[in-house]
Structure 1
């Protein structure tokens, strides 16, 4: 869970991207350090579990998550990601401890991916694509984009890209979960986490630029805010 971004995490990252839209996808994802931090607990869990068993894996993942939280707080970064990381690892570890199965460390993240895919698709069906809603809320543009049908289509496409990313995560990781491939499951979680989210953010940025250009021409968006 902590290494694969949840729907809430995706929304937060899109809000961050809205505030820093001139920066690269890597910077929007928290930079190299943020990506490494997101991957470490799962990586440590897989390695420690293979070497010392489930209890060692759980303890190691928790210690790493706590260490990352302390480091973030020491650097005077936002406390929310620090606490969120520890909470996510603690929940995943608790489930794995309760069931006695290492693969269950990844269980919540797998189903969160499915929930994310469903929510993104549903938002398109309801004509309120989440990519447009979150981006424009974060950038202070409100819902003016919904006045233009083509802008809605742009954000529909970006939202469906995000839905495909979450759907792919679920399909691959659920397959590995059923096959009881703990090591491969950990690798898939890392590889399909922020790297794929960066692709989704690029799709959202494309939709935002295309929409802003049209809204400027239509006089619905001030030129200085494009």
Structure 2
């Protein structure tokens, strides 16, 4: 069967981007990952909730989550593909297991994630206030010259302003996570916490990225000459 030539890309090359928003769209698409890593992050939680719902055995639920995380890592190793996302899942699962086993309460498996969301919430707000918005670092990671000058984005006032607006979307994301998860944790609703963790993971990220995309499509901030750091 004759192979079809690849469809022409509709993405604006960084070199020809006329606005800050076009440049950010290009670099965010370079810096962000895909669906597989998100599924790998969610599967240990699915295993934990499934075993807990079935047997209400904390030790068995923890072992199932750890086993799934290890299997995912072995599959990655066998395929010789990146372990970035699955190692994050293994680490997060191990920390969650430690918290749950130490207290003997299944809901404590979700406590590290909530504490991390709280830390991220504070960090993103502070990053905006000091004009080093978190999204700017993602934009910088997508810059092919990042190894030479990782903070070049910081010298464009328009870039900083747009990245600050986008970082407020992340602030809202963490607020939503905590507003839903903390009451469930305090009420000891383990199954609901598991569902919330999954729904407020990748799906909420997709929603946040969609909002960012909408903001980027609407904006027309011209690129400026680099300004000295304040």
* TM-score where L is the length of structure 1: 0.76
The equivalent of 2:70 in structure 1 is 66
Q: Are residue 35 (structure 1) and residue 43 (structure 2) matched?
A: no
Instruction: Give me the whole-angstrom Cα distance separating, in 1, the residues matched to 2:141 and 2:85.
Output: 21
Instruction: Give me the whole-angstrom Cα distance separating, in 1, the residues matched to 2:74 and 2:159.
Output: 43
Q: Are 1:158 and 1:200, in contact at CA under 8 Å, matched by a contact in 2?
A: no
Structure 1 pair 104–155 and aligned structure 2 pair: CA distance change class (3 A): same
* Structure 2: gaps of 5 or more residues: 1-24
- Once the two structures are superposed, the pairs formed by residues 140-219 of structure 1 within 5 Å of their partners are 140=145, 142-204=150-212, 214-215=222-223, 218=224
SS of match in other structure, 1:21: helix
- Once the two structures are superposed, the pairs formed by residues 110-121 of structure 1 within 5 Å of their partners are 110-121=114-125
**Structure with a larger share of its residues in helix:** 1
Q: Are 1:131 and 1:204, in contact at CA under 8 Å, matched by a contact in 2?
A: no
Q: 1:50 aligns with which of 50, 53, 58?
A: 53
Q: CA RMSD in A?
A: 2.7
* TM-score where L is the length of structure 2: 0.75
Q: Are 2:140 and 2:151, in contact at CA under 8 Å, matched by a contact in 1?
A: yes
Structure 1 pair 58–22 and aligned structure 2 pair: CA distance change class (3 A): closer
Total equivalences in the alignment: 197
The equivalent of 1:101 in structure 2 is 105
The equivalent of 1:8 in structure 2 is none
1:106-162 CA deviation, whole Å, 9 max, x = no partner?
110011011111101100000111112331243136544444444322111100101
Structure 1 pair 38–98 and aligned structure 2 pair: CA distance change class (3 A): same
